[in-house]
Structure 1
Amino acid sequence: MVLADNVDGGDDLDLIVTTMNGNVFCFSTPAPHHPLKAWRASNQGRNNVANRFNREGIYVTPSSRAFRDEEGKNFWVEIEIVDRYRVPSGSQSPYNVTISLLVPGNYQGERTIKQTQIFERAGKHRIKLPTVGVRTTGTVVVEMTDKNGIHFSDDFSLTFHMYYYKLLKWLLVLPMLGMFGVLVILRPQEAIPLPSFSRNHDL
């Protein structure tokens, strides 16, 4: 099996070869990496075995697919629809795009949060997804079906609320700094002798 992907996180395209005896080899190529060049399965998705790069497909832009930790209530995913069919084929629109957020079992809500939109033109588009309210990981799967029923997909992973403890750190440190600042500001301006608790009053 051959897998083409950006394994080392660089700008080049990496080829992974798995042999029958269990050996795994990774080869780096000088070709620049692009998500549409990745060939993750023998059938290249559900029903499309054609080349996607510089042809037709959908992918998540590098700024959105970067691994990160999301907080808050919502986050944005930027996708790009590629359609470079020539005349007479022309545009393959409309493009039925479904974006799914898959979360593991520790989330008490829906395991799959889906949003579907229909786009009439290729290019970059932004879709807003809700975050989950627990500390967990997730996978975003973007799927597209064109007017001929040809299916394309892309996916990436991210985390939610993994670094919430950083807020707890500041909740502990800031009150201490505030009290220290009050003591410094309100300190006595003149020296005052310390009280003596000695019983010998002749001293």
Structure 2
Amino acid sequence: MNQHHEAAVSEVYSPELIRSEVIRLVELHESGVLPPIVQLGHPVLRMAATPFTDQLEPELLRMLLDIMRMVMIDAPGVGLAAPQIGIPLRLAVLEDLYETDPEVAAAREREPLEYLEIINPHYVQLGDPMAAFYEGCLSFNGYQAVVERPAEIATTFTDANGIAHTRNFSGWQARIFQHETDHLDGTVYIDKALTRSLCANHEYPRWANPSIDEARTGLNF
């Protein structure tokens, strides 16, 4: 992002505006309504989110993270980044405790991921292996596509208490962490996808059974 664009983003999303938007979402939730998930075309999905530097007091941060978790579960999804509800801060929540067919889990290296809050996350690839599989996105409803990503990553992030963490992830857990962290850089999975693999959700079961070998042949990617 160039300096001119950074200045424009800073002007549009000042700390005061971010805080007021979070308060608005909290009030919306208190009225019994979950915030909507913004869809591709909304500018917040295409800008680098602002690092979290205590723009929100602890109580307000806690409420925001709790709302994000509820939105993620309601969707349902396995991760949600703050920009997906219109808040351009480097925050995301992750959780994958859904029951999965053992054959599917093995093909995707999918292990349960306990609920995790990541603030100002960063990741780097470990080793050379890559893994390719279908991904969907709550901000790009109705479609899935294959994305090739590092199979194992080293990550750093802080939690809501300001405690720094380092943790390695592999398999499906690594994919979730990368997908959500990419959102904080203004990147959506379709930017990295093998576009010939793109399919509507109702066509997805045809190609993920449980590997993507038939998809590679049938869709020519």
Larger relative helix fraction: 2
Larger relative strand fraction: 1
- With the length of structure 1 as denominator, give the TM-score of the two structures: 0.22
- With the length of structure 2 as denominator, give the TM-score of the two structures: 0.21
Question: Which structure: larger Rg?
Answer: 1
